[in-house]
Structure 1
């Protein structure tokens, strides 16, 4: 199948599929006479597996590291490496959640401190120069 058909069958953009191919995450059968990349049905599995790992928060670079670890035969267990990558992903997610929680806390504090001004639509207290001096 061509990259366009692979895209239609997986819902992944052609651009992403080309990137995955260039990174060695998906293998081609070569090129057609018209110079289109050609894929077999194994590519469907690869794309779905990449999507699964991306859905777990792994970066494309981490997925590439994982595949490289499996290919190098250095004796590293692919399962333990995947567990390590999932741990990293979990920690990144926890950090993002904590950062978002800090923003929520600041919003709540701001609303509490300025509840009356917000209810009245009064922005003069915030240093809004548009007409604050004329109000009194």
Structure 2
């Protein structure tokens, strides 16, 4: 994990330091290491830092819904975001394939002019 990320997570209250070293470095204990691993895993599952803060705030309060059901809801939200990104990327793939099909001959020849190209493609045809 980058130093920048450690600072951000510390500043957001996601991990805690033991203080500072004589050289003014932040000091972390094994609990902080566990939190860093958990944050990394949750980020790897697509949760945002804001969602992780939301999850940890609910756990730290002891109030509200249990962490498990809250995490399940956040994972569901993350899954939907991933599906939306996949759908958007699929649309791009579809447009690439359509473009390649429509311009197959020009792509094979290595010369592709756009309709109405102001640089004189019409003259080269």
Decide which of 104, 117, 121 is 2:106's aligned counterpart: 117
Decide which of 42, 47, 55 is 1:53's aligned counterpart: 42
Q: Give deviations 1:31-77, integer Å, cap 9, x for gaps.
A: 23443221111111111111000010001111111000101121410
CA distance in 1, matches of 2:34, 2:26: 17
Gaps of 5+ in 2: none
Gaps of 5+ in 1: 1-11
Decide which of 60, 80, 102 is 1:91's aligned counterpart: 80
Output the TM-score relative to the length of structure 2: 0.91
Looking at both structures, which has the greater relative contact order when contacts are Cα pairs under 8 Å and sequence separation is at least 6?
A: 1
What is the CA-CA distance between 1:106 and the residue it aligns to? 0.5
Contact map agreement 2:116 2:122 (CA 8 A) in 1: no
Q: Give deviations 1:67-104, integer Å, cap 9, x for gaps.
A: 00101121410000000000000000000000000000
CA RMSD of superposed structures (Å): 1.5
Alignment: residue pair count: 125
